[in-house]
Structure 1
Amino acid sequence: MELTDVKVGLQNVVTEEVTQEKTARAMGSGSLPVYATPAMTCLMEKAATETLESLVPEGWTTVGISLHVAHKAATPVGMKVRAEAEVTAVEGRKVTFTVRAFDDAEEIGVGTHERFAVQKEKFLSKAQAKH
């Protein structure tokens, strides 16, 4: 199976507001009430995932296999955050993205993310077999 509809340069953007639930203090990744790194990386992955959703065959999906990110600046509660994902490489079933995040003031995160296309049933069956 090849991802023939996935092309270098495809992009997607998603946004969210920084709420108390998305702070480092609430998520357990730190002690301060600022946007948590796990929340930022989740938004970055969401941008990448949505880029591919409609382009994989019926019965297939993509799973994240790597994420390398620098969280460069803090964002307070109440600000909006925007995550952007852009396809930079397609190798068989593996898709590589550049991911970036911004608040209203500046770029707050940057990195790379890889996703891999899998058959849903086969993937879930293998995971369930661990019981």
Structure 2
Amino acid sequence: MEFTMEDIKVGLKNTVTDKVTDKNTAKTMGSGSLEVYATPAMTCLMEKASTEALEPLLADGWTTVGISLEVQHKAATPMGMKVRAEAEVAAVDGRKITFTVKAFDEREEIGFGTHERFAVMKEKFMSKAAGKAKM
């Protein structure tokens, strides 16, 4: 079944939240030695905001996969603070969706960038991935 992207429009937005705990610090995640919100946790939250914006609009059997992420993490967030990530569709080019992404803690913007996702048929994608293990 071919899928159209007509429901995915520039300006579509989504926001997700997180809290800085010992599970998502740079020290725990291995991306640094300090107990502050890890860059990998921030980028994951940005991807989650993007993914969740699209999922309700996709046809059965379809999903999106991340294909690029370019971000700057510009401020530290200590343990206990809440974090939110916002994703907004900036462009749709065929099955490629480009987002602007931003992250904030309770005081300021802590990160920003762009994220691209690509719409794929789940079964076909997973079959191709599984084929690598057989080589």
TM-score range, shorter chain: over 0.9
Aligned to 1:55: 57
Counterpart position of 1:115: 117
C-alpha RMSD over aligned residues: 0.5
Mapping 1:42-121, distance limit 5 Å: 42-121=44-123
Shift of 1:56: 1.0
Q: Which runs of 4+ in 1 moved over 2 A?
A: none
SS at match of 1:20: coil
In the aligned structure 2, how far is the partner of 1:20 from the partner of 1:75?
A: 12
Percent of aligned positions that are identical? 73
In the other structure, the counterpart of 1:4 is 6
Tell me the distance in 2 between the aligned counterparts of 1:92 and 1:112. Answer: 18
Equivalent residue, structure 1, for 2:27:
25
Give a deviation string over 1:39-86, Cα, whole Å, max 9, x none: 000000000000000111110000000000000000001000000000
The one-letter amino acid of 1:15's match is T
Measure the CA separation in 1 of the matches of 2:50 and 2:61: 19
Counterparts of 1:57 and 1:3, CA distance in 2: 9
Q: How many residues were matched structurally? A: 131
Q: Which residue of 1 aligns with 2:40?
A: 38
Unaligned runs of 5+ in 2: none
Which whole-Å CA distance do the structure 2 matches of 1:41 and 1:128 have between them? 26
Distance 1:78 1:23 in 2: 11
Q: TM-score, normalised by structure 1?
A: 0.99
Letter in 2 for 1:88: A
Displacement of 1:2 after TM fit?
A: 2.6
